[in-house]
Amino acid sequence: MSEFRTLPAPGTAPGGPAGGAAEAACAVAAIVDGVFAELHRVRDAVTAVLGPAPVSGDLAALRPLLLPRLGGLVSGIGFIAAPGLLSDAPWYLEWWQESSSGDPVRLVRDMDPASSAFYDYSHWDWFSGPRSGEDRTLAGPYVDFLCTDEYSLTLSVPVLRGGGRGERGEFAGVAAADVFVRRFEVAVLPVLRGVPGPAFLVNRQGRVVASTTARHLAGSVFRGAPGMAAHPCRDLPLALVAAQLPHVP
């Protein structure tokens, strides 16, 4: 995972451990890892479903696995095929999301870039990250005008075919889940509130995701500030920024 580019070097405050900030960062990582664990199940199921010449209908077998995973943090979940993977649909997603009534509904969109200006998904971070070899991608926060029109995070992992014996398989698409920023805030705020002083989470680019201070709200860019230190949330592209504790002799 590359360095946080806009932030001061992570670490502990001079003079001692940074209060509960490092522990809080781990607690946030555990929440996010819970969603990645779901995605690993989806990934394994997709690998099991894909035969030598897969077609879009094969993916319907994923539904019993996908539907019960909606709710809680996850508002949308599914598999997005690499262009050309399926012989009957060059662009395809088996994607389920909660409707306004809470019932699962399948997203049906024209994904063919030849006829639609909008739905070429290959450029979006949640797709290009796993395709370029990232094991776990956390895209956003961003306004998702492709699927939900909501301010969202998208977590994704690559789905590979073949491989084995130390060889990386062929990229077949991504297993992904949407988490609305407002739901993420509800989940992580109790953890952030446990940190003394203002605390907020930033993504790898320095964009604020959730915060206990109105000075750094979700969507704004944090470019570093004196007296603030960043604590990585384990190996995720996410860091918790909190005030450095004063030196206690």
Give the number of C-alpha atoms closer than 13 A to the C-alpha of residue 36, restricted to the C-beta side. 18
Q: Is the distance from CB of 172 to CB of 162 less than 8 angstroms?
A: no
Regarding 99 and contact with other proteins (CB under 8 A), the answer is yes
Beta carbon of residue 59, minimum distance to other proteins (angstroms, whole number): 15
CA distance 161 to 168: 9
Could you give the CA distance from residue 82 to residue 144 in angstroms, rounded to a whole number?
20
Q: Which amino acid is present at 37?
A: A
Count CB neighbours of 107 within 10 A.
15
State which of residues 84, 103, 167, 214 lies at the interface with other proteins (CB under 8 A): 103
Closest approach, Cβ 160 to other proteins, in A, equals: 26
> Is the bond leading into 237 cis (omega within 30 degrees of zero)?
no
Residues 126-155 touching other proteins, rule: CB under 8 A, are 141-143, 145, 149-151
Q: How do beta strands 74-81 and 170-180 pair?
A: antiparallel
Is residue 2 near other proteins by the rule CB under 8 A? Answer: no
Q: Which of residues 92 and 142 has its CB atom nearest to other proteins in the complex?
A: 142
**x-marked contacts with other proteins along 28-67 as a string, rule CB under 8 A:** ----------------------------------------
Give the footprint of other proteins on this chain (CB under 8 A): 99-101, 103, 105-108, 110, 112, 115-118, 123, 141-143, 145, 149-151, 205-207, 218-221
